[in-house]
Amino acid sequence: MIEAAPRASLRVRDATAWEVAGPVDVEVYGAEPVIDRLLAAVPVDVARSRPAALLVRLTAPAARLREALAATDPRLADHLDSRLASWRQPPPDLQTPAGTLPTASRPVVMGILNVTPDSFSDGGAAYPPDQHPRPALAAAGALLEAGADVIDVGGESTRPGAEPVAPEEELRRVLPVVRELAAAGAIVSIDTTKAAVARAAIEAGAALVNDVSAGALDPVLLETVAATEIPYVLMHLQGTPSTMQQDPRYLDVVAEVHHALDAGLDRLAARGVAPERVVLDPGIGFGKRLEHNLALLRELSTFTSFGRPVLVGASRKSFIGHLTGGAGPDDRLEGSLSVAALAVDRGARLLRVHDVAATVRAVTLAHAIAHPGDVPS
């Protein structure tokens, strides 16, 4: 369900005709009084759909929309201007303590390194406990050699049904790997929902925090991020990893995920985390059915209007297997590459993947087709 938030939010659905003064298609969602005020302010020549679930859709030239939004909530008019300006435009580069990720000019590839015994994709191949961390470091070296820009290190499985891991055990798994990779000059992301793990990993050299829970599983994590200069991946998750696939439900998955990320940006800003440090992830496969994942990918460009890099992590996920005849994780390469290429066409600037070399080749071509101005001569 869409939250009945007192602060309304605005989503740009389509602005392809904006630069030629054509109609803009937007949605506004918020508490019932806000929607009522908006409907009262809407000019008669602004097309609107019937409001449902605290959501109203408006289609009109930007000037007419701005007039109606300003009469309802000046914030919404400001958001319209900023989000139209960011629509399908490249975000700025992402600055990390370990170096710059060139999200303004090309897709950035994040290689997945699971140091867990129960990874859905490899069954724990990089984590034989009696040899740790040598196999994990070798796997990370192969990812970097294949072209990974970032290594995303995780010590707790977030596959559907996964149970939490104690912070001490998670730290035992990830810290030796983070420390060695950072010392070697790699840009390392720590994939965790725990403040204690994030803090120790940052001290060991991690340059990003990738949190699948948006701070919901450990509220102290947001305070930890705020106290650093580390970029933060804000992801949408319905439920928890252990419950997320039991019965995910949405009235409008794209609107609700957009609303949740908008609210998450507000929470981060209130804690002192500047928008320039935030990456947005719609959470493909995290509390989503097949149709939810496909809808989010289909309308991925709507998330570019926040002006932040958009990350997609769909590699080898079960919805790909479902659509390709029940293929297991090791047989989902073609589907994973198709999703990565489509995501880049729709504005994604970070891809979290298992098969780095093939993905780098695929998204390089996809980016060249979608953004010919970025193709080197």
> Which positions are annotated as active-site residues?
317, 352
Q: 58 pairs with which residues across the strands?
A: 26, 48
Provide the angle, in degrees to the nearest 10, between the axes of the packed helices 62-72 and 74-86.
150
Element holding 100 (H helix, E strand): strand 99-101
| 323 within 8 A of 64, measured Cβ to Cβ | no
- In this structure, the dihedral spanned by the alpha carbons of residues 86, 313, 368 and 309, taken in order and rounded to 10 degrees, is 20
3-state secondary structure of 17: coil
223 in helix, strand or coil?
Answer: helix
Distance CA 216, CA 144 (A): 32
* 238 in Cβ contact with 131 (< 8 Å): no
* CA within 13 Å, CB half, 182: 22
> 91-97: long-range contacts at Cβ-Cβ below 8 A with a sequence spacing of 24 or more?
91/304, 91/307, 91/308, 91/309, 91/310, 91/349, 92/276, 94/231, 94/279, 94/309, 95/231, 95/276, 96/187, 96/207, 96/208, 96/230, 96/231, 97/207, 97/229, 97/230
CA distances, 43 to each of 6, 39, 46, 243 (Å): 23, 9, 6, 45
d(CA 137, CA 123): 17
**Cis ω before 117 (30° cut-off from 0):** no
Whether the Cβ atoms of residue 102 and residue 93 lie closer than 8 Å to each other = yes
Distance CA 129, CA 127 (A): 6
- What single letter denotes the amino acid at residue 59? T
What residues have CB less than 8 Å from 361, skipping those under 6 apart?
none
